[in-house]
Every structure is written in structure tokens, then in C-alpha cells.
Amino acid sequence: MKFTLGLGSRAWRVSWERAAAAAAGRGAGGALGGGAQRVSSPRSGRRGSRLARALPLCLSRGGGARALPDCAGPSPGRPSARQLAGPRAMEQTYGEVNQLGGVFVNGRPLPNAIRLRIVELAQLGIRPCDISRQLRVSHGCVSKILARYNETGSILPGAIGGSKPRVTTPNVVKHIRDYKQGDPGIFAWEIRDRLLADGVCDKYNVPSVSSISRILRNKIGSLAQPGPYEASKQPPSQPALPYNHIYQYPYPSPVSPTGAKMGSHPGVPGTAGHVGIPRSWPSAHSVSNILGIRTFMEQTGALAGSEGAAYSPKMEDWPGVNRTAFPASPAVNGLEKPALEADIKYTQSASGLSAVGGFLSACAYPASNQHGVYSAPGGGYLTPGPPWPPAQGPPLAPPGAGVAVHGGELAAAMAFKHPSREAADRKPSSPGGKAPDALSSLHGLPIPASTS
DNA sequence: GGCGTTACGGTTGAA
DNA sequence: TGTTCAACCGTAACG
């Protein structure tokens, strides 16, 4: 059995048997805890011992999974799908399987649905190690996502690629020059203070002293004449705080979903009035943010399974996710439709490997859709093991329903998670203990006791 | 056994 | 158009 994964224009074919075998090889129970064989090696050689490298997802013509011999070779850098050549290159595209049996795409973020699920389970009081096993995501990743969420309130990955917007805009350079001309003996730190005082920059985009010094040295130099850079490139109406919408990147209050709902649908400018947090660059989107948008989308019927061809299937193309898109769409109120589609489309089978068929039927997404990459492995993220979900409760992700949480439910459940939450709120002191009542009804999921 | 940290190979997109 | 660079990613392993 196979399924096709899509990553942008790349097609990823993944053998489900490979994933299943990778999981089964580490214990029939599915959970790593008991049967997992930890691949242990000295740190110096750990890269060469990566199971993911040894067990790439390969697909032969006959449908049987096999490991490409060259995948485990000593050559630096495992060949990527793009690098494969030959008559069967089109067939031998693959993702990777981690030690837990989960499928991931190296270099690419986990799907939002998984990220959301991680946060959700953590807030249910499930320990990160259990989350890791259940979702088949490495514990480092779980830890990372939770840490990020606790820090920023965002479950989304940071902006990948691109460059940070320059803080030394022509306007800033102009002001620096003015300051220097007005007071040739001014220090860089004084210029910095004046940039702040005059509102040319704020604390998030003010150039560093070293940058100012560099500007003074390189761009302003003798102070005699404005450089061609400033003269020719300065826009006629440079905003005083060109990157404020970036640097004061806010995330909405979980208790005010209204703004989120009406937030940053593509083309709809985001609303202000959020609390800026001192994080300079990466994007952030709160869970409630996403859910708010989801609710909005649900209300508008946009989630009725439409493909939304108008939106890029690439997560980085989502405004607010992609660094590039920040200026065009603040997206401060959450994900746009593509992000929602990512969650919606990322279906997971609660019954895991035993329900591959059902999963596949629910995963009829175009291969060109990147989220299809995760839509398939999504099932792999779920432990096929017996105790999850508990038999007495509804599954975490009913087949066909996907991992996408119902916006209203999770929004309510997440509402307690205020951005300014304290560390004490991060995790229950006793993982197996009671979760807040608001959470205990989330998805109707009973809070499982600690498995250890 | 759980978890924070980090090296590593990979992807991405602006310059 | 192709390359470089610096951001990010998740995994695996260490401690």
C-alpha cells in the first residue's frame, strides 16, 4: 500500500509498509517506551547511525518497500528526492521515518495539526514523553514546540528562508546622518537613543550600536554628501516605523477571538490592538488565533473541503508564516486559509496503522499539496498501540475528521492559556493528575494517567 | 526514564 | 539564472 505525498512541486512517495515496519521493528506495542531500541552510538558517529538515514522511505515499482542501499552510505548528505536520477528517479522519492515510526520531512516543519496536537495534549496534562510517543514525534521536537508555545503562544514554525528585514532602512540612515551632521561628536549609542526617542525606530528595529557605527563608517563616511544609496533609493514616503508590524508582532489575546476571526484573511489587513511581545523576528500565531480563524472559516463555509486553489499550498506562502509575506499581510490574527487547510487536510487515523485503509480514503488530497506530505505520515504519527485513544472515549482524531480540532472546542480549551501565562501554568505538576475542567472535556478525551 | 540541549543534515527564500 | 547566505526545520544523541 502506498500513498503519495506532495511537497510543493515535489512528489513524495512513501511506503506505508516502510513506516509500519519501522514502527513494528521497535516493538509490537507501538509505543517506544517498552520495545523501542534506542539507536545509541557515540556522538561522534551518531549522524552516521541515524535510523532515518538507514531507513528512508523508498518505493519500488512493485509497491514493495525497500531501503535504498545508497541511503546509508557514508557520503555526506543523503540524496534527496531531487537528487535521485535514473530511470526510476520518479519512483524513488521518499520521506523519512524517525525512530518512533513517525514520518517526517527533513528540513520541513511538522504540520500545524501535529503541532497543535502536541500543545493540546500537553495542556491536557500529558507528558511530553508520552506526546512524543503518541504522535511519533521526537521528544526534542515536542520539547521545542512546547517551549516555543509557552514562550510565544504560537504553535507555528518560524519563518523559513529569506532574510530579515533590514533595520538600516534609508530613513534610518538619513536620520543617522542628520544626527551626525548636527553633532559630529555624537556617539553611536547616542544616535541609537535618539532614533528611539524620535520614534524613527522602536526597540525592536533600532539598529545596534555596531550597526550604527558601520553606517557611520560606510554609508555616511565623511558626512559631506549623501551617498548615492540614500539619494537614489530612499523612498519618497518612508514610514517612520516600517517594520513595526513585524517587530511588534503580536499575538491575540485568547479571550478575544473576535479579532481573530476577522483577522488576516488573505487580503484583509490585520487589526492592531494586540500586545506586542519582545520577540524580534519570527512569526507567531496563537492556538486560539488559529482556531479563531478556523471558526471564521467554518462560518464562511470555507472549510467545506474546498481546495482553495487561490492559496498556496505551501505553508511558507501563508502570510504570517512566511517572512516574506509579513509586510503584505500582517496576519497578526492568525492563519489564513491555507494554514487552516493544513490542519484540516492533515488527517490522522486514530487507529493508526491498523486503519491505513480508512486513512487513505480520507486522504485523497492532491499530491501537489504540500500538506499531503503530512497527511499521509499523519497516521504514522499516531501510535497504533492499543491504549490510545482510550477505548472508553472518543478517539483523538476520528478517521476522516483529521487531527484538526474543532475550533470552538479547542478555542475554549485553550482560552485559559494566556500569553502571559506563568511558568506554573505550563505543565501540571503531576502529569497524570487532573487537568483543568475546561480541558477535561476537550474532544471528550479523558485525561489519561501517566503511562509510566 | 524524562527532558533540556545541541550537532547535524536538510529546506527555504532573499540578496 | 545560478549562487550564497542565513534563517528555519526535526531528528538523534548526549548529559
Q: Which protein residue lies nearest to nucleotide B2, measured between its Cα and the C1' atom?
A: A129
Average pLDDT over residues A67-87: 34
Asked if residue A188 has pLDDT above 50, the reply is yes
Residues at the strand B interface (Cβ < 7 Å): A 7-8, 33, 47, 76-82, 105-108, 127-130, 139-140, 143-144, 146-147, 160-163, 165-166, 314, 316-317, 322-324, 431, 451-452
Give the β-pairing of A103-104 and A96-97: antiparallel
Average pLDDT over residues A74-101: 50
pLDDT recorded at residue A143: 92
Q: Are A159 and A316 in contact (CB under 8 A)?
A: yes
Question: Does A23 contact strand C, using a CB cutoff of 7 Å?
Answer: no
CA–C1' A114–B5 (A):
22
**Which nucleotide's C1' atom has the smallest distance to the CA of A316?**
B12
Structural domains in chain A plus CATH codes: 96-152 (1.10.10.10), 170-209 (1.10.10.10)
Q: Please report, rounded to a whole number, the percentage of residues in chain A having pLDDT higher than 90.
A: 8
Which chain B positions have some atom within 7 A of a protein CB?
A: 1-15
Q: Which protein residue lies nearest to nucleotide B15, measured between its Cα and the C1' atom?
A: A163
Question: Does A406 contact strand C, using a CB cutoff of 7 Å?
Answer: no
Q: Write the pLDDT tens digit of every residue in A255-294.
A: 333 333 333 333 333 333 333 333 334 333 444 444 443 4
Dist CA A406 CA A416 (whole Å): 17
**Which nucleotide's C1' atom has the smallest distance to the CA of A370?**
B11
pTM recorded for the entire structure: 0.45
- Name which of A96, A28, A17, A61 is nearest A374 in CA terms: A96
pLDDT recorded at residue A389: 36
Q: Write the pLDDT tens digit of every residue in A7-61.
A: 333 333 333 333 333 333 333 333 333 333 333 333 333 443 334 443 433 333 3
Question: Does A281 contact strand C, using a CB cutoff of 7 Å?
Answer: yes
CA–C1' A136–B6 (A):
21
Q: Which protein residue lies nearest to nucleotide B5, measured between its Cα and the C1' atom?
A: A140
pLDDT recorded at residue A128: 93
Average pLDDT of every residue of chain A: 49
pLDDT recorded at residue A65: 31
CA–C1' A158–B5 (A):
19
CA–C1' A268–C15 (A):
49
Which chain C positions have some atom within 7 A of a protein CB?
A: 5-15
Q: Residue A180 — pLDDT band, cuts 50, 70, 90?
A: confident
CA–C1' A62–C14 (A):
40
Crossing angle of helices A128-135 and A139-152, in 10° steps, is 120
